[in-house]
Amino acid sequence: MKKMIKKSAFASLAFGVVLAFVAVVSPLAPSTYAADCEAGISQGAQSGINCSRGANTPGQLFGDGSIFTTVVNILLFLIGAISVIMLIIGGIRYTISAGDSSNVTAAKNTILYAIIGLVVAFLAFAIINWVIGAIVPSGS
């Protein structure tokens, strides 16, 4: 039973990561294209590339509103949400342990690892923002 729960949790996490990646990378609806693209006005190859990309799709890899920043924010949100869910599960396990020392220890470990996961997620966010800030000047 535990293997099935672990496999389904892993499958759900993998599906969420794939769904987040597809949402970031997928092309936008034609209604979001720029007015020049709808009018058929083209200024060359780069204009055609911009028209096919869509108006609201990030065009740069690093910086504010970039692809990398969007993907990192989505993944950090998922890590934070999973950590909070695991905190709740650990609290429930602790509450229903009925004083059994092995169940209490397992529940405490779940809570401890969820808190460690939250701390790691916050540190990763800070480090990634610091590195991106060092690579890309704030003016661009």
Give the DSSP letter string of the chain. Answer: -HHHHHHHHHHHHHHHHHHHHHHHHSPPPGGGS-HHHHHT---SHHHHHHHHH-SSS---SSSTT-HHHHHHHHHHHHHHHHHHHHHHHHHHHHHTTTT-HHHHHHHHHHHHHHHHHHHHHHHHHHHHHHHHHHHS-TT-
pLDDT number for residue 29: 41
pLDDT number for residue 9: 67
Over residues 61-118, the pLDDT tens digits come to 556 667 777 788 888 888 888 998 999 999 999 999 888 899 999 999 999 999 998 8
Rounded percentage of the chain residues whose pLDDT exceeds 90: 21
